[in-house]
């Protein structure tokens, strides 16, 4: 399995830490076998990234360059499939955006990956948060047998209050599934992949934020399947 990190913007998290450096730390602590990391970065960020990527000496990595106007995970997936073609693995995990921090941990990602059911097209990780500001929402339409991701700016006032499952920007994709959809679509996005996937071929996981007594600010991430009403 490969990991695709969409690191087009480097948010400073304080204490000389960035989104990419935090993700590197998490990946180093994981036990799930990772063959390669592909890091999607913005043009003109190569020099900065070389310093950050010193942390990855135990995991092979390569990078792809995105133009400033192309920052989304869908475009990064298109570039991955196009660039690597026949060398691709069967699946890829996408880590997209700094909203996932601090809610994603190595333990949580390991649990997510080790417990994925078979015969999936994709999986998505969410969390039920008290403060949902800045997060897109995961919305299930049971009647249509589909899942939708609504950007916060596109949510109505009522949806902002009622839709509690926030999208953390962590996805698992079957590579054959992506390849089939690329061949049938001129436009391509994660939202489109979600909307064309029946619930039977999708896994929705949550990272519930249960806190320990000793360290109340550190979430204990335990993946569980999200129950669809």
Q: Which two tokens stand for residue 140?
A: 């299930």
- The whole-angstrom separation of Cα 67 and Cα 48 is 16
Task: Render pLDDT for 28-46 as a digit per residue (tens, 0 to 9).
Answer: 889 999 988 888 877 666 6
Q: Model's pTM, two decimal places?
A: 0.83
Task: Render pLDDT for 140-182 as a digit per residue (tens, 0 to 9).
Answer: 877 777 888 888 888 888 888 888 888 888 999 999 999 888 8
CA distances from 139 to 43, 174, 176, 229 (A): 34, 21, 25, 11
Tell me, what's the pLDDT at 229?
Answer: 38
Residue 80's nearest CA partner among 72, 88, 70 is 88
Residue-range domain boundaries for the chain = 2-225
Tell me, what's the pLDDT at 93?
Answer: 95
Contacts of 8 (CB under 8 A, 6+ apart): 40, 41, 42, 66, 71
* Spans in the chain with pLDDT lower than 50: 13, 209-224, 226-229
Residue 192's nearest CA partner among 135, 121, 86 is 121
Q: Count other Cβ atoms within 10 Å, centred on residue 87.
A: 8
- The whole-angstrom separation of Cα 114 and Cα 121 is 16
Tell me, what's the pLDDT at 53?
Answer: 65
The CATH architecture annotation of domain 2-225 reads Alpha-Beta Complex (3.90)
Scanning the structure block, which residue is given the tokens 């935090």? Answer: 22
H helices present in the chain, as ranges: 19-29, 46-52, 73-84, 106-114, 157-162, 175-183, 190-195
């Amino acid at each position: 399995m490969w990991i695709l990190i969409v690191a087009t913007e480097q948010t400073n998290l304080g204490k000389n830490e960035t989104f990419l450096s935090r993700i590197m730390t998490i990946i180093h602590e994981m036990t799930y076998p990772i063959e390669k990391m592909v890091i999607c970065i913005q043009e003109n960020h190569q020099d900065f990234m070389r310093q950050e990527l010193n942390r990855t000496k135990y995991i092979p990595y390569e990078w792809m360059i995105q133009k400033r106007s192309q920052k989304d995970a869908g475009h990064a997936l298109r570039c991955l499939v196009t660039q690597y073609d026949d060398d691709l693995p069967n699946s890829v995990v996408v880590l997209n955006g700094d909203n996932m921090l601090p809610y994603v941990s190595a333990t949580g990602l390991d649990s997510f990956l080790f417990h994925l059911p078979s015969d999936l097209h994709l999986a998505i990780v969410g969390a039920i948060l008290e403060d949902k500001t800045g997060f897109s929402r995961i919305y299930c339409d049971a009647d249509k047998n589909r899942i939708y991701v609504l950007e916060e700016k596109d949510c109505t006032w009522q949806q902002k209050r009622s839709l509690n499952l926030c999208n953390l920007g962590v996805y698992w994709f079957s590579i054959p599934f992506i390849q089939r959809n690329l061949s049938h679509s001129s436009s391509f996005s994660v939202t489109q992949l979600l909307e064309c996937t029946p619930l039977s071929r999708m896994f929705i996981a949550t990272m519930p934020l249960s806190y320990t007594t000793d360290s109340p600010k550190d979430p204990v991430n335990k993946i569980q399947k999200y129950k669809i009403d």
